[in-house]
Amino acid sequence: MSEPLRVGIAGLGTVGVGVVKILTQNADIITARAGRPIEIVAVSARSKGTDRGVDLSSYDWVDNTADLAAHENVDVVVELIGGSEGVAADLVNAAINNSRHVVTANKALVAHHGYDLALQAESKGVSLAYEAAVAGGIPIIKAMREGFAANNIHSVYGILNGTCNYILTMMRETGRDFDDVLQEAQDLGYAESDPTFDIEGIDAAHKLCILTSIAFGVKPDFDAMKIQGISHVNATDIAYATEFGYRIKLLGIARRVNGKIMQILEPCLVPINSPMGIIDDVYNAVYAEGDFVETPLLTGKGAGEGPTASSVVSDIIDIARGFKVPTFGIPAMELSDASWIDLGETRARYYLRLSVIDQPGVVADISAILKEQKISIEGMVQRARAPGQAVPIVLTLHDSRHENVVNAVEAIEKLSVCNEKPCLMRIEEI
């Protein structure tokens, strides 16, 4: 039997405890599959005295997390602290510089610093593995880097945040508005006490940034992404989307358009019975389209102790086997600077909800603005109310240039009868 692979774990929250459970409870099968034992030798967290429901007494307790990077008995540092800066970043940098392999679930760190870390790891001959950083237990990183390695990838897109998907699902099923459902999600533990990263799309955008890099062989560039969360979506939008035959989903989309790359994270309408439309609750789903593979769908829970810890351990097993691939699928030095498309040049169909004062000529004024921008109306719903009251007007627009649609919406918003910021969302037939 080969020498054990020795692991040090930094961060003993939900996922860290899950990793301890898997490595101890499934030790025999993991040893058989890895070809050698995998042993936890050291751990580190904020508080030593916290009861975490697992026995940590046989492991070295490292008070200063940074010291784990140079621990003499550690071959692999597992970083489960989180955050793109601070302790997590310092630990990963130090571990790589000390020729330790790194396994992380930290999507923010990889999205913001992945390129530099990949250069360091590859120069040191160690792995920087992050399967758990994207979509929890869904093995999308392995699929993109290995399973689809023979393909030119045309696009990758998906539902990448379970909290947002849960909120949108419950809004649809109950008719309640955003704030009410968000509070429920927090009470159930699906949303953090500060849910900003989830509901404003930042968490999902970090994941999409990583997928974009692997799919197209470009350096991760989080700042190049257009990001919009779901806090502006209300029960009215959910109901009208259903009436038009759609579901609203927070989608991350990266695709080639006219030789350039589009990278956006925003709520979109998708057909009710489409593979994306039927993904509900806290589930994630990811598609990848290649030139020699039909659009495979990978779906599952995107967070939680079991799914995320399972992905962490899968990376540790790869390291134990001696299996190593470049961090982003090709050597980091060969990653290129992406050529990003101007979103104004892209075309799509759109959903547009307006709130206007019901008075003669309003629809004519709106139609005139759309005509001026060369935008054709596909469908319209207007509910009757007493004259002078605010009334929603909901439009679906034929395929139109994005810049024209934005110009039209800005002009409509300036009308004296428009009493609320318009809600504009893409319609994606995926």
* Beta strand ranges found along 36-136 (DSSP E): 38-44, 60-61, 76-79, 101-104, 128-129
Question: In the chain, what are the helix, strand and coil shares in percent, each to the nearest 5?
Answer: 40, 25, 35
Does 124 qualify as catalytic in the annotation?
no
CA quadruple 105, 110, 111, 112: dihedral, nearest 10: 130
Assigned token pair, 98: 């000390």
Token pair of 77 as six digits: 């540092």
Work out the number of other CB atoms within 10 angstroms of the CB of residue 51: 5
Query: Do the bridges between strand 5-10 and strand 76-79 make them parallel or antiparallel, or are there none, so unpaired?
Result: parallel
Instruction: Residue 361: name the closest of 427, 296, 292, 417 by CA.
Output: 417
Q: Which residue has the tokens 């003499």?
A: 72
- For residue 74, give the amino acid letter: V
Q: What is the torsional sign of CA 147, 151, 152, 155?
A: negative
Task: Please give the C-alpha separations between residue 64 and each of 82, 105, 123, in angstroms, as whole numbers.
Answer: 16, 20, 27
- Report d(CA 76, CA 119) in Å as an integer: 18
Catalytic residue, chosen from 124, 142, 207, 260, is 207
In the numeric block, the tokens 């571990």 are attached to: 95
Distances (CA, A) of 418 to 221, 233, 358, 379, 411: 37, 18, 10, 20, 10
The secondary structure of residue 418, as a DSSP letter, is B
Residues known to be catalytic: 207
